[in-house]
C-alpha cells in the first residue's frame, strides 16, 4: 500500500484515484468486481477454474450439484456521486481534498468495474451534473471537474428532489458531505433517492479540527450563513463533542432506518484505509 501522504502529493487526480483504489484493492486481495454490484441474476454450472466462493451451497444441498451464482451485468449499474462543495467543506483544505479524492477513487473504481458513473456537485443547488457513462472519456471529464472544484455556497438538499426524479433507472447514489446541516434535512434529501429504489451510500466526512476544537475562546463565524457565536473550546469542549456525537449518531441511526449505508470518515485517516474498512464491512453484510 502506498503511503497516503505520497498519494496526496500526486497532482493528477486520475492517477491519485488509481493509486488509492489499487492500494485498498491490494489490501483486500479480492476481485475488485462486484464491489458495488449487488444485483443477483441467476446460477450456472460450476466449471473448473471458477472461484469456490461463488458456489451456491444451498443449491448444492438441494441438487447435489455445484452451481455458481451469477450477478447482473455491471453495466446495468448506474452510479451517481453526489459531492457537497458548500463553504463548510472548505473549513480546512484537507477536508474538501479528502472528499474530492474519495469521489475520484470511487469514480475510478466504478470505471474499473465498467459501471456507468455520473457526478453531481451541489451546494444550495446542483452546480454540476455529469450523466452516468462508462467511458474513459467520462472518467476524464469527471476527474477534470473534480480537479477544478472550489467550495462555496450553502448546503441545501432540496434540489435532490429534482435530481432523484431525473434518475430513472435504479442505481447507486454515493453521497459525500460533511453533513453540517440539520439532520432532518439531510435525511429527507437522501430518502428521496431511497423512494426511487436507489441504493444510497452516505459518506460523512469531518476533519479532526471539527471533532475537537482547539485554541482559546473566540468568536466563530459560520462559513455558510455568517452567523457568529462566541465559544470557549477550553471550557466547552466536552459539551461540543457531546453535541457532535449526538448529531452524528442521529444521522447514522435515521439513515440506517431508511436502509441507507452510512460511513464516517475522518480526514486524518488515510483514504485507502477508510475505503478498505468500508468495503470489508459491505462484504460482511452481503
Partner 1 sequence: MSFLNPGFLYLLPLVALPFIIHLFAAKVQRRAKFSWVRLLRSAQYEGKKRRRLLEILILILRSLAILSLIMLAARPFRGELFKFRYLVVDFSPSARHDTSKIFSIAEEVKSKGLDVYFLDDRLYEKPVPYDMPAHFKKLGSLEKPAIILSDFQSSNVSDFKDTSFLAVKLRPPRDELKILGVRVQPGITMQGFEASLKVFMKATRRMAVRLNLYREEKLIAGGNFEVNPDSVNQLNLKFIPEKGGIWKAEVLPLDELPEDNVRYFNLTVLERLRVGIIGNNKFIARALNPFRIKNYPVQVTNDIQANFAGFDVIFLTNPDIPLEKLIRVIRYVESGGNLVIFTDKITAPIINALGLNIEPVESAKVVIEKDTLTFPRAIAFGDGKAILIDSKGRKIAVIKPFSKGRLVLVGLPADVSETLFPISPSFVPFVYSLLERLFSVKTNTRVTTAGTPCISLIDSNLTVITPEGEKVTCKDLNFPKVGFYRGEWSFGVNLPPSEAEERFLSDQELDDHFKAHTSLENFENMLRSSRSFTSIFVYFLIFYVLVESLILGWKFRL
**Interface residue list for partner 1 (CB under 8 A):** 88-89, 91, 178, 180-182, 210, 213, 215-225, 227-231, 234-236, 239-240, 242-244, 247
Pick the closer one to partner 1 by CB: 165 or 242: 242
Rounded to a whole number of angstroms, the minimum distance from the CB of residue 155 to partner 1 is 9
Spatial contact of 169 and 78, defined as CB atoms under 8 Å apart: yes
Is 261 strand, coil or helix? strand
Pick the closer one to partner 1 by CB: 39 or 94: 94
Pick the closer one to partner 1 by CB: 194 or 250: 250
Rounded to a whole number of angstroms, the minimum distance from the CB of residue 88 to partner 1 is 4
Kindly list the strands in the beta sheet with 126-133, ordered across the sheet, starting from the edge strand earlier in the chain. 126-133, 116-122, 78-84, 171-177, 199-206, 261-266
Pick the closer one to partner 1 by CB: 165 or 222: 222
Rounded to a whole number of angstroms, the minimum distance from the CB of residue 71 to partner 1 is 39
**Exposure on the CB side of residue 111, measured as CA atoms within 13 A:** 22
Rounded to a whole number of angstroms, the minimum distance from the CB of residue 112 to partner 1 is 33
Specify whether the backbone of 270 is left (phi greater than 0), alpha (psi in -120 to 50) or beta. beta
Pick the closer one to partner 1 by CB: 71 or 231: 231
Rounded to a whole number of angstroms, the minimum distance from the CB of residue 216 to partner 1 is 8
Q: How far is CA 30 from CA 33, 55, 72, 191, in A?
A: 8, 16, 19, 32
Amino acid at each position: 500500500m502506498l503511503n497516503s501522504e505520497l498519494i496526496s502529493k500526486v497532482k493528477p487526480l486520475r492517477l491519485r484515484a488509481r493509486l488509492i483504489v489499487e492500494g485498498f484493492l491490494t489490501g483486500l486481495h479480492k476481485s475488485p468486481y462486484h464491489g458495488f454490484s449487488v444485483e443477483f441474476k441467476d446460477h450456472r454450472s460450476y466449471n473448473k477454474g471458477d472461484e469456490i466462493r461463488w458456489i451456491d451451497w444451498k443449491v448444492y444441498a438441494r441438487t447435489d450439484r455445484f452451481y455458481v451464482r451469477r450477478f447482473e451485468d455491471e453495466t446495468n449499474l448506474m452510479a451517481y456521486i453526489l459531492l457537497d462543495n458548500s463553504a463548510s467543506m472548505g473549513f480546512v483544505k484537507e477536508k474538501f481534498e479528502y472528499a474530492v479524492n474519495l469521489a475520484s477513487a470511487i469514480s475510478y473504481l466504478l470505471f474499473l468495474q465498467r459501471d456507468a458513473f455520473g457526478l453531481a456537485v451541489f451546494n444550495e443547488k446542483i452546480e454540476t451534473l455529469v450523466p452516468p457513462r462508462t467511458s474513459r472519456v467520462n472518467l476524464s471529464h469527471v476527474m477534470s471537474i473534480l480537479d477544478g472544484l472550489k467550495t462555496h455556497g450553502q448546503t441545501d438538499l432540496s434540489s435532490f428532489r429534482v435530481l432523484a426524479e431525473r434518475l430513472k433507472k435504479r442505481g447507486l447514489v454515493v453521497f459525500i458531505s460533511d453533513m453540517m446541516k440539520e439532520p432532518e434535512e439531510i435525511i429527507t434529501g437522501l430518502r428521496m433517492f431511497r423512494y426511487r429504489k436507489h441504493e444510497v451510500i452516505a459518506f460523512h466526512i469531518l476533519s479532526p479540527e471539527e471533532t475537537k476544537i482547539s485554541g482559546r475562546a473566540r468568536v466563530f463565524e459560520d462559513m455558510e450563513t455568517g452567523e457568529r457565536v462566541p465559544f470557549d473550546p477550553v471550557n466547552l469542549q466536552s459539551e461540543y463533542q457531546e453535541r457532535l456525537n449526538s448529531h452524528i449518531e442521529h444521522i447514522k441511526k435515521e439513515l440506517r432506518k431508511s436502509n441507507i449505508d452510512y460511513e464516517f470518515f475522518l480526514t486524518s485517516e488515510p483514504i485507502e484505509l477508510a475505503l478498505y474498512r468500508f468495503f470489508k464491512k459491505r462484504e460482511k453484510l452481503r
